[in-house]
Amino acid sequence: QDVEFGIVGSGSMGAGMTLLFSEHGSKIGCYDYDGDAVQALMDEAKKDDSVDESLVHGFTSLEKLVNAFPKADSKSDTSSGAENEERSKKPRVFVLSLPHGKPVDGILDELLPLLEKGDMIIDGGNEWWEETERRQRKTKEKGVEWIGMGVSGGYQAARHGPSMSPGCSPEAWDYLKPYLEKWAAKAPNGEPCVLHMGGGGAGHYVKMIHNGIEHAHLSILCEIRSLLKHQLGYTNDEISVLFESWWKEGPLRGNFLVGIGYKGLKFKDGDGLHEEEGIVEGMEDKVTQDVDKSEGTGTWSTKEIGERHVAAPAIAASHQLRIISADKFERLEVAKNLNVPQPSEAEEKKLDKEKKDELLKTIHSAVYGAMLSAFVQGLNIITRASKDEKWGISLSNCLKIWRAGCIIQSDAIAEFLLPLVEKFPPSEPLNLLRAAPEIAQELARTYEALKKVCLIALETDAVAPALSASLEYLKAVGGKNLPTDFEEMELDYFGHHNYDLKSEPGKGHEKGNYHTEFSRMPGV
Ligand code: 6PG
């Protein structure tokens, strides 16, 4: 069959990539242990007019998939023809589209003995970067390249062009580049949304932080939609019109989540329920974690925030809300004991149309500021990690691959950030708000709007952790005087923590030079 690429896993992402790659003319072998999934994909290829079904071959045996590539010894087989001879020199490339962790190791153990030096395995799922680097060390012993590559945009982008973040050797990137560029989503200027992120786990790292930003954006938007609906009295249809206007024009133009948000809010005929207010009204307010409670990109991003000492409170707060939301039964049990006010209507609901329209502009600005600050928080984590791990990730490359195909695509924000970030070399700067005054000024411009929105949330007891964390971030990250002098005193009192003097400020986060024995003071 002479397949050119093997795709392991025929779930929605693997199926999408199989159809996408074959649409671009590659002969694909798709493997899944579940024969029904493979058959469903073959049927899909048959039905899809843009795909030549003869380019898609199904397998339920990994060994058969490996053997379906041109034979390496065909170089000396004159009867196989020049074309086969040329193809036999190519590495065999497998793209894994599997849940992270054990399923990937299972396939690796099965696949590796069947491979030869020069072959490549791309892990296209989400993965913890250290797991990627462990597998890279393992496959390297055999001369097989393991590529950790984020694939973003969900199953629809997998079918029509995802944003991709490969982390691998420069040689593997050189080989894969023309294929990946063909398959990738295209930015508004036509550039493919795939670039080499760096070596080791860089690719999976960038995708993990993409998801951290995605989670913050999801939270900011759901908090705002709830505020508009429940505190300010707008209907879902009205909110949909508002979100559509944000999506079309202004600083949230081309924001993917705003775009699907306005479309989703209009959706009314899903289950026949809630005809008036749309399908979202019938949905339970719980967001569970994907694979396992203790794992996943949100959990990993939050872990990184702690371990790398980078401030990213909106990303952390969005993850916390997701954790709290997930167990509704528990929440309702707690509510029986925890008698705090439930969210109420805002005074602003009674404003006249003109003033309400003004308020909507304020809300627009607040959402933009919060989303922009989530980008800053995520990019700061990436730079820190890239420096620590010596990956050489360039922030402008991250922003370039996020211009289309992915969940945090936001045209106007990318157009604003990219030229400002392009001037920095890889792994610099460690703090965008320090290095790029234009970004800091833009956030400062949205501060009052964000504060107003948070005030409404506070007054009405509305739940708005990502919005509040975004505001607190702005207050603290450039704060000239934080409340932490008192904390420092208490820490030194009980823990010999040491402190610096305001008259002799230190330059970094090194331990202070002074200690006081508080117990020796008279009267203590
Ligand atoms: C993307 C998404 C995607 C996401 C899954 C599962 O960029 O396409 O980020 O990779 O991870 O949809 O979502 P959760 O991990 O948030 O549950």
Q: Are residues 124 and 253 in the same domain?
A: no
Please work out whether the CB of residue 11 comes within 6 Å of at least one atom of ligand 1. Answer: no
Please work out whether the CB of residue 99 comes within 6 Å of at least one atom of ligand 1. Answer: no
Which residue, 204, 226, 260, sits at the end of a domain?
204
How much distance in Å is there from the Cα of 212 to the middle of ligand 1? 10
Residue 269's pLDDT is what? Answer: 67
Q: Are residues 221 and 160 in the same domain?
A: no
Q: Are residues 307 and 405 in the same domain?
A: yes
Domain CATH for 453: 1.10.1040.10
- Helix, coil or strand: residue 429: coil
* Cα(454)–Cα(216) distance, integer angstroms: 16
Q: Are residues 191 and 263 in the same domain?
A: no
Per-residue CA distances from 366 to 244, 388, 468, 473 (Å): 17, 33, 11, 14
End-to-end CA distance of the chain: 85
Q: Are residues 489 and 469 in the same domain?
A: no
Please work out whether the CB of residue 56 comes within 6 Å of at least one atom of ligand 1. Answer: no
Q: Are residues 99 and 240 in the same domain?
A: no
Catalytic residues: 207, 214
Number of domains in the chain: 3
* Cα(20)–Cα(522) distance, integer angstroms: 77
pLDDT in single tens digits along all 524 residues of the chain: 799 999 999 999 999 999 999 999 999 999 999 999 999 999 999 999 999 999 999 999 999 999 999 986 644 444 444 444 443 568 999 999 999 999 999 999 999 999 999 999 999 999 999 999 999 999 999 999 999 999 999 999 999 999 999 999 999 999 999 999 999 999 999 999 999 999 999 999 999 999 999 999 999 999 999 999 999 999 999 999 999 999 999 999 999 999 999 999 998 865 555 667 788 988 999 998 765 556 789 999 999 999 999 999 999 999 999 999 999 999 999 999 999 999 999 999 999 999 999 999 999 999 999 999 999 999 999 999 999 999 999 999 999 999 999 999 999 999 999 999 999 999 999 999 999 999 999 999 999 999 999 999 999 999 999 999 999 999 999 999 999 999 999 999 999 999 999 998 777 778 899 999 998 887 76
For the record, the structure tokens of 77 come out as 């087989």
Nearest residue (CA) to ligand 1, atom 6: 290
Q: Are residues 418 and 301 in the same domain?
A: yes
Please work out whether the CB of residue 299 comes within 6 Å of at least one atom of ligand 1. Answer: no
Q: Are residues 57 and 183 in the same domain?
A: yes
Alpha-carbon dihedral angle through residues 179, 56, 33, 156, given to the nearest 10 degrees: 60
472 in Cβ contact with 454 (< 8 Å): no
Q: Are residues 57 and 138 in the same domain?
A: yes
Please work out whether the CB of residue 295 comes within 6 Å of at least one atom of ligand 1. Answer: no
Q: Are residues 183 and 236 in the same domain?
A: no
User: How many C-beta neighbours within 10 Å does residue 427 have?
Assistant: 21
For the record, the structure tokens of 357 come out as 């329209």
* Cα(232)–Cα(246) distance, integer angstroms: 18
Give the DSSP letter of residue 52: -
* Cα(448)–Cα(54) distance, integer angstroms: 59
Element (H, E) at 31: strand 28-31
Ligand 1 atom nearest 207 alpha carbon: 7
Ligand 1 atom nearest 157 alpha carbon: 8
User: How many C-beta neighbours within 10 Å does residue 339 have?
Assistant: 7
Ligand 1 atom nearest 287 alpha carbon: 17
Stated pTM of the model: 0.95
Which residue, 161, 180, 204, sits at the end of a domain?
204
Maximum distance among all Cα pairs of the chain, rounded to whole angstroms: 99
Element (H, E) at 59: strand 56-59
Please work out whether the CB of residue 165 comes within 6 Å of at least one atom of ligand 1. Answer: no
Q: What is the DSSP string of 207-233?
A: HHHHHHHHHHHHHHHHHHHHIIIIIT-
Amino acid in the structure at residue 153: G
Domain CATH for 191: 3.40.50.720
Domain CATH for 502: 1.20.5
Domain that holds residue 506: 484-520
Q: Are residues 369 and 491 in the same domain?
A: no
User: How many C-beta neighbours within 10 Å does residue 358 have?
Assistant: 12
* Residue of 13, 97, 100, 126 to mutate, ligand 1, most atoms within 8 A of C-beta: 126
Which residue, 178, 204, 230, sits at the end of a domain?
204
Please work out whether the CB of residue 297 comes within 6 Å of at least one atom of ligand 1. Answer: yes
Q: Are residues 230 and 120 in the same domain?
A: no
* Cα(21)–Cα(384) distance, integer angstroms: 35
How much distance in Å is there from the Cα of 289 to the middle of ligand 1? 10
Residue 503, Cβ density class (10 Å: 0-12 exposed, 13-18 middle, ≥19 buried): exposed
* Cα(30)–Cα(329) distance, integer angstroms: 41
* Cα(312)–Cα(469) distance, integer angstroms: 9
- Helix, coil or strand: residue 508: coil
